[in-house]
Amino acid sequence: MEQELNHPPSLKNPFISCLFCRYRGFTLFLTFLFYTAYHLSRKPISIVKSELHRNCSTVIRPADLNITDNATWCDWAPFGESVTELFETQDHLVSYFFGIFGERLPLRYYLSAGMLLSGLFTCLFGFGYYWNIHSIWYYGFVQAMNGLMQTTGWPAVVACVGNWFGKGKRGFIMGVWNSHTSVGNILGSLIAGVFVSSAWGMSFIVPGIIIASTGILCFFFLVESNEQESGEKEPLLHSSSSSERIFSGSSAISSEPAEAAEDHTEAISFCGALSIPGVVEFSLCLLFAKLVSYTFLYWLPLYISNVAHFEAKEAGDMSTLFDVGGIMGGIMAGLVSDYTGGRATTCGVMLLAAAPMLFLYNYIGQRSIGTTIGMLLLCGGLVNGPYALITTAVSADLGTHESLRGNARALSTVTAIIDGTGSIGAALGPLLAGLISPSGWNNVFYMLISADVLACLFLSRLVYKEVKGWCGRAPRQRG
């Protein structure tokens, strides 16, 4: 009996193997659903922006309305251009804290609480429309708290998926899985667009209900890890005993996350995570890559509306093509990096190609509907491909780096550092776009092109290292 407890059933057993695969697939589906909901609830502010701060000179003013300021009479106070820019940036600035916190708490509780509270604050923002609230302090507090809750998502879901999937297929699997970002953006745009012109409050309330509902699903159904907890740890599913936490000691499968076994591995320190080879380079690269991606996320609908003269709903719908391209780009980046073993090189090539494509999109992208569709798909793939690869497969690779000696709890901290650094870019991008756009959209695109080039430069050392490995001068390594 003692031997059975120390050596759980092998995955070569067809029944055990089938259950393992089902749980792995179910975890992949659940985490996809969770982060889709996170991004879905993040999108409404970019769609509603054109309704909160409108060009009042083009709106017919009611005859009984006695207003002297013709430029802002139709805005929803207290919103103006600078206020909406501030709300877009503040939810990206606390990723470090909550990501590092994530490895010290059970991920199931952590994610569930984050989604429920994010849903609450998203709904409260929408209720401001129905309660006729015009206080900057109300909206500022609600959006700040929502931003705080939003940062619970990414490090936790990456840690879950990294615990279930080995390194060999990680790029492709996470490339497909990371399409949740674009799917969430698309659904968020479409849902918010339905209500934006009639009752913009519902553009927040409906996504808030959706993410709160997924938080309930998370609490009851998420199995956060399959790591073995006894003996020497093997975080990448190499051994047949990797399903011990699910299968040992019982014929029934529990959805409880690891209370049955203790984890004696200490959480890695912030400085310890920074010392992992590749973390600093990829973090700085993501800062500029995410700057470009989030500028498109928040400003593309307004750009299309201004340049192509579309209505708010039509511009929002057209902007979803950028995210469709992002899905294809993320999958392609994962496939290529798995085949070549060159995560940095794959990102570098796509970032270099993105720079001239952004220039072309600005100059010829609005000449015809066909050109617009093609350029949006292409730019979306090249911009979001590296971003998707770094935040998923690269983060998981570095979080399970050989220098950690099996410390699987480091994955959440490494993910938080990389994505947290990227979040600085996610905050700066929309803010800079708002400051630069009055001088012309051309200058905004020059800023985005410069950011892409800088992102590529930060990877140059790692690219050189990978190329040397391919030439046989050094063993090929990732990260």
Q: Which fold has domain 14-472?
A: Growth Hormone; Chain: A; (1.20.1250)
pLDDT recorded at residue 283: 92
**Dihedral through CA 369, CA 373, CA 379, CA 384, nearest 10?**
140
Interatomic CA distance for residues 428 and 85, integer angstroms: 10
pLDDT band of residue 175 (cuts 50, 70, 90) is confident
Backbone torsion region of residue 309, taken as left when φ is above 0, otherwise alpha when ψ lies between -120 and 50, otherwise beta: left
Interatomic CA distance for residues 60 and 38, integer angstroms: 37
Residue whose pair of structure tokens reads 């083009």 in the numeric block: 58
Average pLDDT of the residues in 463-478 = 73
pLDDT higher at 359 or 408:
359
Q: What is the DSSP letter of 403?
A: G
Burial label, 111 (beta-carbon count in 10 A; 0-12, 13-18, 19+): buried
Interatomic CA distance for residues 213 and 445, integer angstroms: 38
pLDDT recorded at residue 388: 87
Distances (CA, A) of 218 to 99, 158, 194, 206, 442: 18, 15, 28, 19, 44
Interatomic CA distance for residues 263 and 90, integer angstroms: 35
pLDDT per position as a tens digit, 291-326: 999 899 888 888 888 887 777 778 888 888 999 999
Burial label, 190 (beta-carbon count in 10 A; 0-12, 13-18, 19+): middle
Q: Two tokens at 305? A: 């509306």
pLDDT per position as a tens digit, 437-467: 889 999 999 999 999 999 999 999 999 999 9
Q: Two tokens at 359? A: 């220039």
Distances (CA, A) of 162 to 33, 103, 171, 236: 16, 13, 11, 8
Distances (CA, A) of 414 to 158, 257, 279, 400: 10, 21, 8, 9
pLDDT band of residue 249 (cuts 50, 70, 90) is very low
pTM equals 0.70
On whether the CB atoms of residues 417 and 283 are closer than 8 A, the answer is yes
Interatomic CA distance for residues 125 and 140, integer angstroms: 9
Residue 232: phi, psi to the nearest 5?
-75, 130
Question: How wide is the angle at C-alpha 103 spanned by C-alphas 26 and 419, nearest 5°?
Answer: 85
pLDDT recorded at residue 161: 79
Share of the chain above pLDDT 90, in %: 30
pLDDT per position as a tens digit, 48-102: 877 776 656 555 555 555 555 555 555 666 665 555 555 555 555 545 555 555 5
On whether the CB atoms of residues 154 and 420 are closer than 8 A, the answer is no
pLDDT per position as a tens digit, 262-280: 444 565 677 777 888 888 9
Spans of all domains in the chain: 14-472
What's the whole-number average pLDDT of the chain? 77
CB neighbour burial string for 6-25, b if at least 16 within 10 angstroms, e if fewer: eebbebeeeebeebbeebbe
pLDDT band of residue 393 (cuts 50, 70, 90) is confident
